[in-house]
Amino acid sequence: MSCILEAPFMIEMIRTVTNMYDHGWDERNGGNVSLMLEEKDVAEYLDTHRVLRTLDTGFTAPELDGRCFLVTGTGKYFKNVQYAPEVNLGLVRLTEQGQKAELLWGFSDGGRFTSEFPAHMMSHVARLKVDPDNRVIMHCHPANLLAMTYVHDLDEKAFTRTLWQMCTECIVVFPEGVNVLPWMLCGTNEIGEATAEKMKTARLVVWSQHGIYGAGKDLDETFGLIETAEKAAEIYMKIAHLPWKNVITDEQMHQLEKRFGMKAREGYLD
């Protein structure tokens, strides 16, 4: 049996969270990532019959029963993941309709998964109903998107259109737009439920004055999704106070729809 630290999914997880930290998205222990895995793929690296301990999840998700997740730990700093992955990451399998999580590897210091684990799992459930290939939920604190929630109207259509207008690629990368939540208390099932509801119609959900949730088929796609939205927000924050002489028009965005064979969210373009 191969060492789990050599598994492609482990290597990519470590690279991704390190990159997120280097981008300044995950200060201190801010942010969290969960990657859904097939048990057969995990079994190439671990004895999946050997359970280290069982954790309560605090929620019910029968749709995820038996699913395995590689997830960041609560209170863990992303900068440390590359140096001690077995401490800062954990691999769990959900049981008892999602109410229990069997720890198969990691959290070697006695830790547990992120406090946002319920929000992640609820979002996984929501996205799997839209896209059966969804595997990743990613939460982080990109500075420009946060700043934008202080000065921009939080109406989802308005917020989305502004991001689309900042970079030509934005409407191509996230044609369904961005959904937005008002400030809510983090680490609760309430914000998890609200986020999951928003995930039904978009892969990006902004938590006002807090951060963003992204979903995707793999770590690269999800990282790139957030990276693109954050770049657009950065441009907006640089020019919001200046007179605009040029903008990407709706007519031009319709040209992008035709060129790239995609469709913008219904009702968001004139």
Cα 239–Cα 245–Cα 249 angle in degrees, nearest 5: 95
Name the residue ranges covered by the structural domains of the chain.
1-115, 117-124+133-270
Q: Which has the closest alpha carbon to 62: 97, 101, 99?
A: 97
Question: For residue 175, what are the CA distances in angstroms to 22, 38, 111?
Answer: 27, 29, 39
What is the reported pLDDT for 252? 98
Torsion of CA 264, 266, 267, 269, to 10 degrees: 10
What is the reported pLDDT for 2? 77
Tell whether pTM > 0.85.
Answer: yes
What is the reported pLDDT for 255? 98
pLDDT, average across residues 186-198? 93
Q: Contact at 8 Å (CB) between 229 and 212?
A: yes
Torsion of CA 3, 15, 135, 154, to 10 degrees: 160
Residues acting as catalytic residues: 116
- Structural Rg of the chain based on CA atoms: 19
Q: Contact at 8 Å (CB) between 59 and 121?
A: yes
High-pLDDT (> 90) share of the chain, %: 97
| H or E element that contains 53 | strand 53-56
Cα 226–Cα 268–Cα 165 angle in degrees, nearest 5: 55
- The pLDDT-based confidence of 138 (bands split at 50, 70, 90) is very high
Q: Is residue 76 over pLDDT 60?
A: yes
- Tell which CATH architecture fits domain 117-124+133-270: 3-Layer(aba) Sandwich (3.40)
Q: Is residue 1 over pLDDT 70?
A: no
What is the reported pLDDT for 187? 86
pLDDT tens-digit map of 195-244 = 999 999 999 999 999 999 999 999 999 999 999 999 999 999 999 999 99
pLDDT, average across residues 30-55? 96
The answer as to CATH 3.40.225.10 being correct for domain 1-115 is yes
Q: Which has the closest alpha carbon to 68: 32, 119, 105, 29?
A: 105
Q: Contact at 8 Å (CB) between 23 and 132?
A: no
Own/partner contacts of 19-23, CB < 8 Å, gap of 24 or more, are 19/223, 20/78, 20/138, 20/140, 20/223, 21/77, 21/78, 21/79, 23/142, 23/227
Query: Phi and psi dihedrals of 213, rounded to 5?
Result: -110, 135
Do 117-124+133-270 and 1-115 have the same topology in CATH? yes
Average model confidence (pLDDT) across the chain: 96
pLDDT, average across residues 42-53? 96
- The pLDDT-based confidence of 192 (bands split at 50, 70, 90) is very high
User: Which strands make up the sheet holding 211-216, listed edge to edge?
Assistant: 53-56, 100-106, 89-95, 68-72, 32-37, 136-140, 211-216, 204-207, 179-181
